[in-house]
Amino acid sequence: MKPLLKTLTETFAPSGHEDAVRKVILKEVRPLADEVSVDALGNLIVRKKPAKGAKNPKKIMLAAHMDEIGVIVSHIDKKGFVRFTNVGGTFGRYTLGARVRFLNGVSGVVGYDRLEQVDNILPINKMYIDVGASSKENCPVKVGDVAAFERSYIEMGDRLIAKSMDDRSGVVVLIETLRSIKSTPNDLYFVFTTQEEVGVRGAGAAAFGIDPDIGIAIDVTPTGDTPASLKMVMELGKGPCVKFRDVGMVSDPRVVDWMINTAEKARIPYQREVLLIGSTDAREIQISRAGVMAGALSIPCRYVHSASEMVDYNDLKNSVKLLAAMLSKSVSF
Ligand code: CO
Ligand code: ZN
């Protein structure tokens, strides 16, 4: 799982430009799938059909988004300095001093106008990208070009750090879950969604097309385990988090119970999650068509939306175990 996570997190795929990462995922899932398709928004939909003779199989949609936050060029000045805006939740506090990589391979360094106060956190409209150009004419990027953070994957014991752990760690969990399920009584749709970071857009379209009975998002969740963090119970290394509520949704209690009962029966550690910031693809799945029973399984993650998002390897392994246990049996609600 670790080499694949390294490859996934070192691939550049800001929202709306997911081709490169979809290619990586496709190579892994094709041999494991009964059907594979890509829809108009670029969602990669991987179906694993119910075993022969399964009675009333439930259609279950699992979603992990493959896009990541990034930046987009909005203006280039006479000296070739690039002004930019956000693609998704790209914050000034993490962008300053960062390196970015454009899809055409060009690297850039983020600089800033002038600090009135040395400790100020600047908004990104006071920043620019220096791509090594000296004029507008020799600037190697154009208005509309997109970039993502450039940062390599590292390991510190069980702590894994990279850009785009949000949500490539969810992507790797879904791939490994698919790999570990030999047979299922359910009709499973593993969906690698697009454009989550710009408003959970891919998942809504995919859910409309699939029309599932149950939907589960697999995404990261910020934790409450760092100095002076928000008062939240989620911690790194204490198991996958069963989402009860975030800013965009209230999980279906039947889905919550299903997760918790399965975890307890299989003795897999889990945590209860009430998230005070952000939401996931599950929000959009829940309200698609006439409504879907939805929930989310979250991977605890520190420094979300920075270039050094940190997860714990044990949480990834336990997420795979829990999902595989849930999906291998028929669902009773
Ligand atoms: Co995110
Ligand atoms: Zn995410």
Structural domain ending residue among the three candidates 120, 149, 178: 149
Distance 199 CA to ligand 1 centre (A): 10
What integer is the mean pLDDT of 130-149? 98
| Residue-averaged pLDDT of the chain | 97
CA distance 110 to 211: 43
301 and 218 inside one domain: yes
The predicted model scores a pTM of: 0.97
278 and 321 inside one domain: yes
CB contact set of 110 (below 8 Å; sequence gap of 6+): 95, 96, 97, 98, 99, 100, 127, 128, 129, 130
Ligand nearest to the Cα of 170, by number: 2
Largest Cα–Cα separation, the chain: 70
CA distance 181 to 177: 6
- CB contact at 8 A, 220 and 170: yes
CA distance 112 to 198: 25
124 and 55 inside one domain: no
Does residue 158 fall inside a structural domain?
Answer: no
pLDDT of 116 > 90? The answer is no
CA angle 159, 165, 170 (to 5 degrees): 105
CA angle 146, 66, 140 (to 5 degrees): 15
Ligand nearest to the Cα of 193, by number: 2
The number of folded domains in the chain is 2
What integer is the mean pLDDT of 329-333? 91
pLDDT of residue 241: 98
104 and 49 inside one domain: no
pLDDT single digits (tens) 182-235: 999 999 999 999 999 999 999 999 999 999 999 999 999 999 999 999 999 999
Distance 273 CA to ligand 2 centre (A): 15
Distance 167 CA to ligand 2 centre (A): 5
Does residue 279 fall inside a structural domain?
Answer: yes
pLDDT of residue 33: 97
pLDDT of residue 114: 86
45 and 193 inside one domain: yes
Distance 217 CA to ligand 2 centre (A): 9
What integer is the mean pLDDT of 1-15? 98
pLDDT of residue 115: 80
Distance 55 CA to ligand 2 centre (A): 34
pLDDT of 4 > 90? The answer is yes
pLDDT of residue 119: 81
**Which band of pLDDT confidence, cut at 50, 70 and 90, is reported for residue 118?**
confident
pLDDT of 298 > 90? The answer is yes
102 and 184 inside one domain: no
What integer is the mean pLDDT of 64-80? 98
pLDDT of 48 > 90? The answer is yes
Does residue 333 fall inside a structural domain?
Answer: no
Does residue 222 fall inside a structural domain?
Answer: yes
Does residue 271 fall inside a structural domain?
Answer: yes
Does residue 111 fall inside a structural domain?
Answer: yes
Which residues does the annotation mark as catalytic?
196
pLDDT of 11 > 90? The answer is yes
pLDDT of residue 236: 98
pLDDT of 328 > 90? The answer is yes
3-state SS record for 197-209: CCCCHHHHHHHHH
Phi-psi region of 268 (alpha: psi -120 to 50; beta: other; left: phi over 0): beta
140 and 62 inside one domain: no
DSSP state of 174: H
Nearest Cα to Cα of residue 63 among 173, 163, 160, 165? 173
pLDDT of residue 122: 86
Ligand nearest to the Cα of 299, by number: 2
214 and 197 inside one domain: yes
pLDDT of residue 120: 81
Q: How far, CA to CA in Å, does 228 sit from each of 122, 223, 245, 298?
A: 22, 11, 22, 22
Sign of CA dihedral 141, 143, 144, 148: positive
46 and 190 inside one domain: yes
Ligand nearest to the Cα of 220, by number: 2
Distance 135 CA to ligand 1 centre (A): 34
pLDDT of residue 237: 98
CA distance 273 to 295: 11
Query: What is the domain extent for residue 125?
Result: 70-149
**Which band of pLDDT confidence, cut at 50, 70 and 90, is reported for residue 32?**
very high
**Which band of pLDDT confidence, cut at 50, 70 and 90, is reported for residue 332?**
confident
pLDDT of residue 189: 98
